[in-house]
Amino acid sequence: MKRTLITGITGQDGSYLAESLLSEGHEVHGLVRQASLMQRSRLDSLPSCSAARAEGRLKLHYADLTDSSSLQWLVRQVKPGEIYHLAGQSHVKVSFDLPEYTAETTGLGTLRLLEAMRQNVPEARFFLAATSEIFGEPSESPQSETTPVNPINPYAAAKLYALNLVRVYRKAYGLFACAGILFNHESPRRGENYVTRKIARGAARIAKGLERELHLGTLTPRRDWGWAPDTVEGMRAVLGAGRPDDYVLATGETHSVGEFCALAFEAVGLDYRDHVVLDPEYARPVDITETRGDAGKAARELGWRPRTPFPELVRRMVEAERAALEERAPAD
Ligand code: NAP
Ligand code: F7E
């Protein structure tokens, strides 16, 4: 049985990854951090995870990316064959408010975990969730593994440090350390303060008469939006490759925030122009105009291709919000 450690198991990607690994019989260990509420909604609601916890195939361990000793202890105890490193402060706008914390978790946290692996399980495989944000305002389109990097926010700067560390540890120590350069990927499990989830949720709530307006920072930026479970499949392909390397995982398409709004509101029979309000509170000091990834290397070398079209992604997210509202509605 393969033993896998996931940091960020309570997040969007970590929960899909845990489900995927458990369905194939892996023993999964998840790093969780202390919080005042024990609720881990993305995991707790999954029957496969509850069953695996009861069988002892899914174990959660307290540790923190800011605490080296906890990471050393965890890796020494679990002795994983694979480590998926998905944890960190990953909100771009919040990284302007919490630059030091973002560097501590997303940047130095990766160093601490790589050291824990090097010192305790150097034969293990390591995956880093890197990001298209490292390209900043990209100098070419689409962006590939060879596109010049130029981070324009503290999150991207921290992720670039983490990606460079993966490359250093691969070269200097011969570790099987690799990275996915991930473009935006979304799902109903996305955090509520990311734009796609915010729009899907807003459209569903406005359609139900619970709210009248949706406040957004801007409608013009364009993103390469993929479906998170497709991206998670790609992560597994990267870690399962014959040799460690870095791969862009993206759809190759780009759509604006406005296009996402149009499709989401259309799905509930409304026109977004009647409800979306531009609000400077949600605008950023600097923002990337457009991302579009070239995942040709992942297709050629790993056989990975995204499968979920953009309109279907939007439809699924809106439907999930509507279903959640129906579940929450009090019985007559
Ligand atoms: P997410 O939903 O925000 O999840 C982040 C995870 O990190 C959560 O499990 C969170 O735990 C954990 N975490 C945060 N700080 C921590 C700390 N100090 N110690 C331990 N755990 C900590 O992120 P995601 O969307 O699943 O993304 C997964 C990874 O991919 C992230 O590293 C992100 O930067 C990267 N990425 C994501 C995208 C995307 O579009 N989703 C694109 C490019 C790269 P709590 O549940 O306790 O908060
Ligand atoms: O913003 C604009 C915003 O916060 C997308 C993270 O997973 O992907 C994600 O970062 C766009 C930006 O994601 C609002 O300015 C407009 O142009 O959903 P987002 P992101 O910043 O692209 C990358 C690849 C990561 O690595 C990150 O971890 O939408 N936007 N109005 C807004 N964004 C938010 N959040 N809220 C708004 O009201």
Q: Return the structure tokens found at 265.
A: 């509101």
Regarding whether 215 and 174 lie in a shared domain, the answer is: no
Give residue ranges with CB within 6 A of ligand 1. 7-8, 10-14, 31, 33, 35, 64-66, 86-90, 105, 129, 131, 182, 184-185, 191
Q: Does 175 map to a domain?
A: yes
Asked whether 289 lines ligand 2 (CB < 6 A), one says: no
Residue closest via CA to ligand 1's atom 34 equals 90
Question: What does the pLDDT read at residue 47?
Answer: 85
Count of structural domains within the chain:
2
Asked whether 257 lines ligand 2 (CB < 6 A), one says: yes
Per-residue pLDDT of the chain (332 residues; tens, 9 = 90+): 799 999 999 999 999 999 999 999 999 999 999 988 877 889 988 888 888 888 999 999 999 999 999 999 999 999 999 999 999 999 999 999 999 999 999 999 999 999 999 999 999 999 999 999 999 999 999 999 999 999 999 999 999 999 999 999 999 999 999 999 999 999 999 999 999 999 999 999 999 999 999 999 999 999 999 999 999 999 999 999 999 999 999 999 999 999 999 999 999 999 999 999 999 999 998 999 999 999 999 999 999 999 999 999 999 999 999 999 998 766 54
Q: Is 319 exposed, middle or buried (0-12, 13-18, 19+ CB in 10 A)?
A: middle
Asked whether 218 lines ligand 2 (CB < 6 A), one says: yes
Residue closest via CA to ligand 1's atom 33 equals 90
Q: Does 206 map to a domain?
A: yes
To the query of whether residue 155 is one of the catalytic residues in this protein, the response is: yes
Q: Does 53 map to a domain?
A: yes
> With pLDDT > 90 as the criterion, what percentage of the chain qualifies?
91
To the query of whether residue 7 is one of the catalytic residues in this protein, the response is: no
Residue closest via CA to ligand 2's atom 10 equals 92
Q: What is the rounded CA–CA span in Å between residue 17 and residue 306?
A: 16
Residue closest via CA to ligand 1's atom 35 equals 129
Q: How far is the CA of 5 from the centre of ligand 2 (A)?
A: 28
Tell me if 27 sits within 8 A of 2, measured CB to CB: yes
Q: What is the rounded CA–CA span in Å between residue 7 and residue 32?
A: 7
Residue closest via CA to ligand 2's atom 13 equals 194
Q: Does 296 map to a domain?
A: no
Is residue 130 classed as helix, strand or coil in its secondary structure?
strand
Which atom of ligand 1 is closest in space to residue 87's alpha carbon? 7
Q: Residue 285 gets which letter from DSSP? A: S
Q: Which of 192, 153, 137, 182 is nearest to 284 (CA)?
A: 153
> The CATH number of the domain where 269 resides is what?
3.90.25.10
Regarding whether 314 and 241 lie in a shared domain, the answer is: no
Q: What is the pLDDT of residues 183-213, one digit of tens each?
A: 999 999 999 999 999 999 999 999 999 999 9
Q: Which of 175, 177, 167 is nearest to 122 (CA)?
A: 175
Q: Does 300 map to a domain?
A: no
Regarding whether 240 and 217 lie in a shared domain, the answer is: no
Regarding whether 258 and 141 lie in a shared domain, the answer is: no
Q: How far is the CA of 234 from the centre of ligand 1 (A)?
A: 17
Close Cβ partners of 242 (under 8 Å, ≥ 6 residues apart): none
Which atom of ligand 1 is closest in space to residue 191's alpha carbon? 2
Residue 176's DSSP bridge partners are 125
Regarding whether 41 and 15 lie in a shared domain, the answer is: yes
> The CATH number of the domain where 22 resides is what?
3.40.50.720
Question: What does the pLDDT read at residue 331?
Answer: 54
| Residue of 110, 189, 195 to test ligand 2 pocket, by largest number of atoms within 8 Å of CB | 195
To the query of whether residue 133 is one of the catalytic residues in this protein, the response is: yes
Vertex 105 angle, CA 236 and 57, to 5°:
45
Regarding whether 170 and 73 lie in a shared domain, the answer is: yes
| Residue of 40, 90, 235 to test ligand 1 pocket, by largest number of atoms within 8 Å of CB | 90
Q: Does 80 map to a domain?
A: yes
Q: Does 93 map to a domain?
A: yes
Q: Which of 139, 84, 13, 158 is nearest to 149 (CA)?
A: 139
Regarding whether 322 and 238 lie in a shared domain, the answer is: no
Vertex 137 angle, CA 97 and 259, to 5°:
85
Regarding whether 261 and 236 lie in a shared domain, the answer is: no
In terms of residue numbers, what domain contains 317? 195-223+253-290+308-331
Regarding whether 242 and 114 lie in a shared domain, the answer is: yes
Regarding whether 125 and 175 lie in a shared domain, the answer is: yes
Regarding whether 130 and 27 lie in a shared domain, the answer is: yes
pTM of the model: 0.97
Regarding whether 231 and 216 lie in a shared domain, the answer is: no
Q: How far is the CA of 185 from the centre of ligand 1 (A)?
A: 12
Alpha helix (H) residue ranges in the chain: 12-23, 41-44, 47-55, 68-78, 92-97, 99-102, 109-120, 154-173, 195-207, 228-239, 257-267, 296-302, 310-328
Q: What is the pLDDT of residues 313-326, one digit of tens each?
A: 999 999 999 999 99
Q: Does 146 map to a domain?
A: yes
Which atom of ligand 2 is closest in space to residue 283's alpha carbon? 15
Q: Residue 330 gets which letter from DSSP? A: P
